[in-house]
């Protein structure tokens, strides 16, 4: 479903973040992308979302070479991918209500009226914020903001769901709630990719894990302490 071939990405004046990386993700997988802070996990997401372009290599999504997409095709491509980031303060419209934030992609897609309200209602029920839909996002806790982001990311029923450090700033119970939601999204048939450096979280899920280390991606099984220590 998603294929990176010989992909290199660097930022101005710095060593490459990713150097000739090749990886493949199949439809319906739940897997982790791990590595230390600054290893390039977010860069992988940004490349897949076409918010960055690689210096070399190919990215295929459902068989299509997305690097050849026109700006309009890129916009449609992004609608098929749900994204959740760690720093929700920068990813939500703070001065808008919960429902306005969730409705944003629907408005962009040209939906309005009853259809939009129905879809919004279903999603807010799903994340447990239906009763608080009129509240401003600026007044929510970090975990609640994460739930709003998840609701917004699910608007178009995405086939792929990216979560970048989704539990990074959350307490244990909220982190559990968020991970449960991600599991449900996976159960509904979506491919879920979670970027995290929280190795205990990875161990608890026992899913396939790709580790970004020294600008390369390698597959690892983080089951026991020795493997965890090696990954560090």
Residues that bind another protein in the complex, under the rule CB under 8 A? 49-53, 71-72, 74-76, 78-79, 83, 90-93, 95, 104-105, 107-110, 152, 156
Instruction: Tell the smallest beta-carbon distance from residue 209 to another protein (Å).
Output: 25
Which of 202, 88, 101 lies closest to 154, judged by CA? 101
Taking the least distance from each CB to another protein, the nearer of 168 and 203 is 168
Taking the least distance from each CB to another protein, the nearer of 101 and 209 is 101
Q: Tokens representing 62? A: 């459902």
Instruction: Tell the smallest beta-carbon distance from residue 226 to another protein (Å).
Output: 39
Instruction: Tell the smallest beta-carbon distance from residue 66 to another protein (Å).
Output: 12
Instruction: Tell the smallest beta-carbon distance from residue 212 to another protein (Å).
Output: 21
The sheet carrying 2-10 orders its strands as 16-25, 2-10, 56-61, 64-65
CA dist list (Å): 46 to 16, 51, 222, 229: 15, 5, 25, 28
DSSP H helices in 80-141: 98-108, 113-127
Instruction: Tell the smallest beta-carbon distance from residue 173 to another protein (Å).
Output: 27
Taking the least distance from each CB to another protein, the nearer of 23 and 153 is 153
Q: How far apart are CA 46 and CA 81, in angstroms?
A: 11
Taking the least distance from each CB to another protein, the nearer of 74 and 216 is 74
Taking the least distance from each CB to another protein, the nearer of 1 and 49 is 49
Length of the chain: 232
Q: 3-state class of 187 per DSSP?
A: helix
Taking the least distance from each CB to another protein, the nearer of 34 and 149 is 149
Instruction: Tell the smallest beta-carbon distance from residue 75 to another protein (Å).
Output: 4
Question: φ, ψ for residue 101 (rounded to 5)?
Answer: -65, -40
H or E segment and range at residue 175: helix 172-187
Q: Is beta strand 216-220 parallel, antiparallel or unpaired with respect to 160-164?
A: unpaired
């Amino acid at each position: 479903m998603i294929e990176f071939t010989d992909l290199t990405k660097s930022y101005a004046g710095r060593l490459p973040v990713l150097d000739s990386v090749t990886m493949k993700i199949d439809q319906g997988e739940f897997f982790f992308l791990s590595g230390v802070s600054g290893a390039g996990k977010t860069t992988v997401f940004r490349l897949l979302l076409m918010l960055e372009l690689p210096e070399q290599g190919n990215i295929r999504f459902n068989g299509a070479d997305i690097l050849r997409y026109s700006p309009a095709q890129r916009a449609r491509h992004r609608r098929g991918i749900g994204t959740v980031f760690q720093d929700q303060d920068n990813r939500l419209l703070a001065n808008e209500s919960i429902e306005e934030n969730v409705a944003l992609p629907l408005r962009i897609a040209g939906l309005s009226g009853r259809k939009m309200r129905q879809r919004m209602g279903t999603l807010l029920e799903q994340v447990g914020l239906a009763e608080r839909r009129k509240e401003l996002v600026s007044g929510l806790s970090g975990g609640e903001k994460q739930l709003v982001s998840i609701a917004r990311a699910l608007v178009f029923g995405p086939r792929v769901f990216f979560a970048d450090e989704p539990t990074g700033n959350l307490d244990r119970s909220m982190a559990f709630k968020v991970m449960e939601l991600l599991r449900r999204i996976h159960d509904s048939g979506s491919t879920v990719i979670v970027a995290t450096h929280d190795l205990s979280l990875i161990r608890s899920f026992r899913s396939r894990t790709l580790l970004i280390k020294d600008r390369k991606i390698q597959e690892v099984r983080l089951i026991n302490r020795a493997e965890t220590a090696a990954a560090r």
